[in-house]
Amino acid sequence: MTAEVVNLAARRTPQIGFERLELNRILDLYGRMVAAGHWRDYAIELGREAAVFAAFRRAAERPEVRIEKRPALRQKQGMWALVSEGGAILKRGHDLAGVLAPLERRLMKIVED
* 65 domain residue, yes or no: yes
Whole-model pTM: value is 0.81
Q: How many domains does the chain have?
A: 1
What pLDDT shows up at residue 72?
Answer: 83
* 57 domain residue, yes or no: yes
What phi and psi, each to the nearest 5 degrees, are found at residue 23? -65, -35
What pLDDT shows up at residue 58?
Answer: 78
Q: Domain span at residue 81?
A: 20-107
For the chain, which ranges sit under pLDDT 70? 1-13, 59-60, 109-113
CA atoms of 106 and 93, how far apart (whole Å) = 19
What pLDDT shows up at residue 4?
Answer: 56
What pLDDT shows up at residue 1?
Answer: 47
* 10 domain residue, yes or no: no
Beta bridge partner(s), residue 91 = 82
Asked if 80 and 96 count as a contact pair (C-beta separation under 8 A), the reply is: yes
* 15 domain residue, yes or no: no
* 14 domain residue, yes or no: no
* 112 domain residue, yes or no: no
Asked if 64 and 56 count as a contact pair (C-beta separation under 8 A), the reply is: yes
pLDDT tens digits, 25-53: 999 999 999 998 888 999 999 999 999 99
What pLDDT shows up at residue 27?
Answer: 94
